[in-house]
Amino acid sequence: MSLASDAPSLTRPNDAPSRPALDAFLAGLGEIPHETARNTVLAKSRDFFWYSPILKEQLADCAADVIVTPRSEADVIAVARLCATHRIPLTARGGGTGNYGQAVPLQGGVVLDLTGLTAIGPVIDGTVRVGAGAKLKDIDARTRPAGWELRMFPSTYRTATIGGFVAGGSGGVGGITYGGLSERGSIAALRIVTLEAEPQIIELRGADALRVHHAYGTNGIITELEIPLAPAQPWVDLAVSFADFAQLGRFCLELARTDGIMKKLVTAVEWPIPRYFNTLQATLPDGASLGLFMIAGASLEPFFELVALFGGDVVYRQTDVEVAAAGMVPIYEYTWNHTTLQLLKRDKDVTYLQSAFPSLERVAELGRMLGDEMIMHLEFVRAHGEIGIRALQIIRYTTAERLNEIIRIHEENGCPVYNPHTYLIEAGGMKVTDPAQLAFKRRADPLGLLNPGKMSGWTPE
Amino acid sequence: MSLASDAPSLTRPNDAPSRPALDAFLAGLGEIPHETARNTVLAKSRDFFWYSPILKEQLADCAADVIVTPRSEADVIAVARLCATHRIPLTARGGGTGNYGQAVPLQGGVVLDLTGLTAIGPVIDGTVRVGAGAKLKDIDARTRPAGWELRMFPSTYRTATIGGFVAGGSGGVGGITYGGLSERGSIAALRIVTLEAEPQIIELRGADALRVHHAYGTNGIITELEIPLAPAQPWVDLAVSFADFAQLGRFCLELARTDGIMKKLVTAVEWPIPRYFNTLQATLPDGASLGLFMIAGASLEPFFELVALFGGDVVYRQTDVEVAAAGMVPIYEYTWNHTTLQLLKRDKDVTYLQSAFPSLERVAELGRMLGDEMIMHLEFVRAHGEIGIRALQIIRYTTAERLNEIIRIHEENGCPVYNPHTYLIEAGGMKVTDPAQLAFKRRADPLGLLNPGKMSGWTPE
């Protein structure tokens, strides 16, 4: 519950900070901007966890006691010191666009809204140093005139922050060329503040950054990042319809393998998903599955050649410049987790999974096994030098038991599921606690106050 | 033999054009520049076939009757018309940097030196239109200020022409990111002149360009090309020594797989090859194998991290700007076929093979089988979405029989050899005649006068 009211809908967790501790914390904040107004606190205590009917139930009542919005790293350090002193939990937040409750405080306390740390430095050696709260789209806007752009971003590109992406995400658009955030070379450095009576600043470079990447802010407050970029080039948004989803899959795999076609996005959605894409200015035949692509201008001609070879029909084509000028919806907002969002806007009975498939044949087999309960959505990526077939399949939701059964069916058939219906880091994908992340939490958060409850492997010493 | 003298060292082939036919041809040339002086004719009738002791013997006596140097496509058309009229063989030539006798005329006649067609157009949609004779280095010099560069080039970059590369090459530096020239998207278009009484101009776009790519000019005279580029970025030349060649191989494979490290070159040469790299300003421990790399500036830090992880020692590092400013030898001139050249400069008893290996284990097995007879040289590339391990292994040459035996040992162990000891297109790699290339030859060269003798599948109708 918020400090501002005792709304009965919110049950304050037993392990939430005491009122005297909170009062002392608030008194210590001084001029650091903060909000305890109920509406603000509730709004900033949520992310997009409601995609999951399970998380929606589990996290509905969670709320911070106060939202603190640091203006600088010095403010972050001051807040960390106060939290350590008064034993106040701290959950860091960027744009709040995560889907797993990454930014939802389970034990009240502080939500640290980092969207004020918006600095974007110059591009040096193809790398940019940015504040954790810089929006992805703003980074590109700043670096493109210098000839550089982000290598990868989530479909929430227009609202997400770089810090939130690195702390809570794993990859997305661009992954078909550069792999995911955990690939060596994707993150140059992270600068974090520890939660201690005397907070330290630690810079983690290269592979060391993986200690904090995708740890949901449980083992350090990211304040700055150094991100390697790619040379910028013009991109074209494209949608291609195929009467047969299996044929669309084969087209996407062939496109993914074609190193001579430069691309940023290779997505395949099965009918009737495209029926929900009402803002996409494309006329689709009934029953048609849809491929969604971002292709480099220099590669359009061979792309069209491949489309013709596989019998697809180009139904939409806009350059990134045209899309921006006309205020249209960029194609990536129909892909990755935005595909799910487009459906949820009109159908509350669906949810989704996240998984990997070893082959297109296995995609077809699972489709036959699950019938109308599943509609397929594939994302093609690079995974350490190989082509990866990832799925964010739409599931018609009945019960949690059935959802778990569907997950089991996937895993028994060799399709690992990165469960988006849990707020635990480990349950989402890795299954076991990353020892490097846990060890770093002992160093950066000895009191266990950073986003408590999210790293299940953590126990106080 | 040349027209200028009856030098006894050259035996005129029986199927060479008759003197009256040649005289009529020469009379028709008018102002089109041409040379019949013996030295020029001999020099321009050769390429780097002498890498092969077998080709060296077979092609030693081959020479054109005249070197014609067209100033324009109109000149090319006029020459093609004259050749058709007087039944004069025509062999096209670029920089003459090929290794398989591609540009060596087997039946005398005309060598058409296309180095005069040097036009380089503006970059449009990341693609540049160029004359066949434009040098690769000159294309980059023109497109880099606009932010674009060639995706791939051979190690002869500084002297080779784009037309020669596409007509006689297959890939090289850059292949670790973009694959080879035959990958869909690598060539946007080729414009060719046919050899007929009324020569036609045919533009082959996209996959149709493969009808003429790597056909040694047997089925069309390439006059213009449209080449898709990559966004330009700064590159760093690096050499890394490893005490153990197998460990260097593992390092290269891991680097090749790491999509987060942007790269243009991943080469591994076994000791004692590095001993021959005397112009490389690197101090090498005795017995050390050497990795040679071009890494994007933005990816240097993760590259060094990987080097440390695998126990390598960075012995050389220069940016492309430093190399150019100091007039140093670029690192790629120690790789691909230049590796062989560096050895041949000091040891005439070696030659080489070109092959593919399914795994590093197989590299080690063949190494054990052949002992001191073979020194390994690996090039890592992308091959339609997968990592390819290619070899240009150095072979201590004894006899043609033993060389063929070594080829057989490779092939029996699952390592296909793209034999560089033949001037026949088919024997070099594909083993069978490409039906599309043959069909196109029937259309573009009905008289069989283009580079006769190189396409073994050709028979006059």
pLDDT at residue B430 above 90? no
pLDDT band at B8 (very low <50, low <70, confident <90, very high): very low
For chain A, give the percent of residues with pLDDT over 70. Answer: 97
A212-259 tens-digit pLDDT? 999 999 999 999 999 999 999 999 999 999 999 999 999 999 999 999
Q: How far apart are CA A124 and CA A132, in angstroms?
A: 18
Question: Which residues, 6+ apart, have CB-to-CB distance to A368 below 8 Å?
Answer: none
Is the predicted pLDDT of residue B54 greater than 60, yes or no? yes
* Residue A59 pLDDT grade (very low, low, confident, very high; cuts 50, 70, 90): very high
In the predicted structure, residue A301 carries a pLDDT above the cut 80: yes
Mean pLDDT of B382-401: 96
**Cβ B292 vs Cβ B323: under 8 Å:** no
When the pLDDT of each residue in chain A is averaged and rounded to a whole number, the result is 94
Going by pLDDT thresholds of 50, 70 and 90, the confidence category of residue B429 is low
Residue A215: predicted pLDDT: 95
Residue A372 exposed, middle or buried by CB count within 10 Å (0-12, 13-18, 19+): exposed
The two beta strands, B377-383 and B350-352, are unpaired
Provide ipTM, 2 decimals. 0.94
Q: What is the pLDDT of residue A5?
A: 35
Average pLDDT over residues A155-160: 97
Contact B305 A147 (CB under 8 A): no
For residue A3, pLDDT over 50 is answered with no
Render pLDDT for B288-320 as a digit per residue (tens, 0 to 9). 999 999 999 999 999 999 999 999 999 999 999
What share of chain B in percent tops pLDDT 70? 97
pLDDT at A100: 94
Residue A49 belongs to what H/E stretch? none
- Whether residues A126 and B188 touch (CB distance < 8 A) is answered with no
Distance from CA of B144 to the nearest CA of A (A): 12
Tokens read off for B218: 């047997």
- C-alpha A240/C-alpha A269 separation (Å) is 11
pLDDT band at B29 (very low <50, low <70, confident <90, very high): very high
Query: How many interface pairs between A and B have CB atoms less than 8 angstroms apart?
Result: 128
- H-helix or E-strand spanning residue A54: helix A53-59
Judged by a CB distance cut-off of 8 A, whether residue A257 touches chain B is: yes
* Confidence band for B279, pLDDT divided at 50, 70 and 90: confident
Per-residue pLDDT tens over the stretch B142-186: 999 999 999 999 999 999 999 999 999 999 999 999 999 999 999
Mean pLDDT computed over A349-363: 97
- Could you count the other beta carbons within 10 Å of the beta carbon of residue B325? 10
Report pLDDT for A426.
87
Angle in degrees, 0-180, between the axes of helices A360-370 and A245-257, rounded to the nearest 10:
150
Instruction: Tell me how far apart the alpha carbons of residues A402 and B457 are, in angstroms, rounded to a whole number.
Output: 63
The two beta strands, A110-113 and A66-68, are parallel
DSSP symbol at B274: G
Considering only the beta carbons, identify the residue of A127, A306, A384 that sits closest to B257.
Answer: A384
Per-residue pLDDT at B461 = 67
| pLDDT class of A430 with cuts at 50, 70, 90 | low
Chain B nearest-CA distance from A176, in A, is 9
- Write down the mean pLDDT value for chain B: 94
Instruction: Return the pLDDT at A29.
Output: 97
Rounded distance, CA B121 to CA A422, Å?
A: 56
The shortest C-alpha distance from B255 to chain A (Å) reads 9
Token output for A242 = 């195929």
Is the torsion defined by CA of B380, B384, B386, B388 positive or negative? negative
Give the DSSP H or E segment for B255.
helix B245-257
For residue A459, the model assigns a pLDDT of 86
pLDDT of A113 > 80? The answer is yes
Q: Which long-range contacts (CB under 8 A, 24 or more apart) does B366-372 make?
A: B366/B409, B366/B410, B366/B413, B366/B415, B367/B270, B369/B409, B369/B413, B370/B406, B370/B409, B372/B396
* Structure-token pair, residue B419: 């034999």
Residue A83 CA from chain centroid, whole number:
27
Q: Is B231 within 8 Å of A230 when comparing Cβ atoms? A: yes
Torsion of CA A343, A346, A349, A354, to 10 degrees: 10
CB distance B80 to B193 below 8 Å: yes
Listed in sequence order, the residues at least 6 apart from B165 whose beta carbon sits closer than 8 Å to its beta carbon are B94, B136, B153, B154, B181
Please indicate whether, in this complex, the C-beta atoms of B262 and A230 are within 8 angstroms of each other: yes
In contact, B200 and B193? CB cutoff 8 Å = yes
Residue in chain A closest to B151 (alpha carbons) equals: A260
Smallest CA–CA separation between A226 and chain B, in Å?
Answer: 11
From the CB of residue B339, how many other CB atoms can be counted at a distance below 10 Å? 26
Interface check for B387 against chain A (CB to CB < 8 A): the answer is yes
